Amino acid sequence: MLGIRSRGRGLALALGTGLASCLGPPPSVPPGPPASAPPPSATPDDTGDGEPGAPYFSGAAALARVEVLMGWPRGLGDPRRERSIDALAQMLEMAGAEAVERQPLRADDPATGQSYDLVNLIAHLRPDAPRRFVLATHFDTRPWADEEEDPAAHELPVPGANDGTSGVAVLLVLLPTLAEALPPEVGVTVILFDGEELGRPGYGGYCMGSRHFAAQAAEQRPAWLERAELGIVLDMVGDRDLHLPKEPLSIGNAPALVDRLWAVARRRGHAQFEDRRRPVGILDDHELLTEAGVPSVLLIDKEYAPWHTRGDVLAELSAESLAAVGDTVLHALLELASEPPLGAATGRPHGEPRRTCGMLPRWAG
């Protein structure tokens, strides 16, 4: 995938010029246009498929998105986050979503009892399509750098370039490409969960947005959710030293989807997807999405050294890592869209009750 790297630089420069004015305070209007398509100067082998115009994911574009998003504060309790969320919703529309739902909720810090107003963003591409894939990530960043060695830093916010931003960036770059490349009978729902970080070691919590989503789904059973075949959740996918073993709970939820993702990655040369099972499962938004009836897989590198520290900054990420994830998800979904639904091969049937989250091994946070 060397071609991605060389082409990406040009795209990053082009994006950087257009987006520089949007850094700093969150803008009322998001920058655009969304970057997904290759620039006109792209050479055929940049796609990795040797075909001009073949669906392509730009890691450089995703990294540029991370940089822009880092100027939009999304930490719990940050007074500026409301504007950032508005901008995120606009960005989803610009990326091709025809409808962006807001799902408000209120949740408490389990350690202090402090309440937060949260909101999940649920964006639909082709809302009425008979088939549907779900892509999700959390957009909130952790307000407490409680993995810092220095206790004095524990109440300072985590910048969250990887944890809370990398997944958003990948999905924003992916969506317009999927809109172009997927057949018309397949729609996509992108969910940006809030409150994934609203938890404390020893207290639990975490994943408050997706918990609320699952509870609402059980009550309301929205029509689009009934058509959702599979879910892919991204969390911390930009580490420049990216390692993606198979996450055990994902294997339980959607074994065929895990197999497909890792097979596509291997075929496309993304060694970041490692053919081994992670020893310990990770509780993350994919468990709640599965509980909501969408058998879901988590892509995560939990061994990210700056996890929950002040060091989770842009310099820790790379376009290559983001490209490995975006390219794999893109091509796996294109394959799956051309086949009958995975159906019974994936996880439990829709709506089947799920074990209690608190009983699962550990939270990613």
With respect to Zn ion, which residue has the nearer C-beta, 161 or 319?
161
With respect to Zn ion, which residue has the nearer C-beta, 163 or 285?
163
Q: Pick from 48, 176, 205, 365: which binds Zn ion (CB under 5 A)?
A: 365
| CB contact at 8 A, 96 and 41 | no
Which part of the chain contacts Zn ion (CB under 5 A), choosing from 8-16, 70-78, 157-165, 281-289? 157-165
Q: How far is the CB of 145 from Zn ion (least distance, A)?
A: 11
* CA distance linking residue 60 with residue 308, whole number of Å: 24
With respect to Zn ion, which residue has the nearer C-beta, 11 or 242?
242
Angle at 97 between CA 50 and CA 180, to 5 degrees: 20
Q: How far is the CB of 287 from Zn ion (least distance, A)?
A: 15
The count of residues interacting with Zn ion (CB under 5 A) is 2
* Residue closest to Zn ion, measured at CB: 163
Residues 24-43 that bind Zn ion (CB under 5 A): none
CB neighbour burial string for 54-80, b if at least 16 within 10 angstroms, e if fewer: ebbbbbbbbbbbbbbbbbbbbbbebee
Residues 51-80 that bind Zn ion (CB under 5 A): none
| CB contact at 8 A, 351 and 293 | yes
Q: How far is the CB of 105 from Zn ion (least distance, A)?
A: 18
* CA distance linking residue 79 with residue 74, whole number of Å: 9
With respect to Zn ion, which residue has the nearer C-beta, 285 or 327?
285
Q: How far is the CB of 130 from Zn ion (least distance, A)?
A: 35
Site map for Zn ion, 75-114, x if CB under 5 A? Answer: ----------------------------------------
DSSP 103-168: EEEEEE-TTT--EEEEEEEEEEESTT-SEEEEEEEE--B-S--TT-SSGGGTTSPP--SIIIIIHH
With respect to Zn ion, which residue has the nearer C-beta, 169 or 334?
169
Pairing relation of β-strands 273-277 and 99-108?
Answer: unpaired
Element (H, E) at 190: strand 186-193
* CA distance linking residue 278 with residue 140, whole number of Å: 25
- Residue 352 dihedral angles phi and psi, to the nearest 5°: -65, 135
Helices 167-181 and 59-69: angle between axes, nearest 10 degrees: 130
Q: How far is the CB of 84 from Zn ion (least distance, A)?
A: 17
Q: How far is the CB of 155 from Zn ion (least distance, A)?
A: 16
* CA distance linking residue 292 with residue 279, whole number of Å: 25
Which part of the chain contacts Zn ion (CB under 5 A), choosing from 112-120, 226-234, 280-288, 357-365? 357-365
With respect to Zn ion, which residue has the nearer C-beta, 217 or 283?
283
With respect to Zn ion, which residue has the nearer C-beta, 238 or 365?
365
CA proximity to 231, closest of 190, 174, 178, 282: 190
Which part of the chain contacts Zn ion (CB under 5 A), choosing from 54-62, 67-75, 159-167, 287-295? 159-167
With respect to Zn ion, which residue has the nearer C-beta, 163 or 291?
163
Assign 26 to helix, strand or coil. coil
CA proximity to 186, closest of 125, 232, 98: 125
With respect to Zn ion, which residue has the nearer C-beta, 144 or 224?
144
Which part of the chain contacts Zn ion (CB under 5 A), choosing from 38-46, 51-59, 162-170, 339-347? 162-170
Q: Pick from 140, 146, 163, 229: which binds Zn ion (CB under 5 A)?
A: 163
With respect to Zn ion, which residue has the nearer C-beta, 10 or 201?
201
Which part of the chain contacts Zn ion (CB under 5 A), choosing from 158-166, 170-178, 267-275, 289-297? 158-166
Q: How far is the CB of 142 from Zn ion (least distance, A)?
A: 5
Q: How many CB atoms lie within 10 A of CB 101?
A: 17
DSSP-assigned beta bridge partners for residue 204: 200
Q: How far is the CB of 302 from Zn ion (least distance, A)?
A: 9
Residues in contact with Zn ion by CB under 5 A are: 163, 365
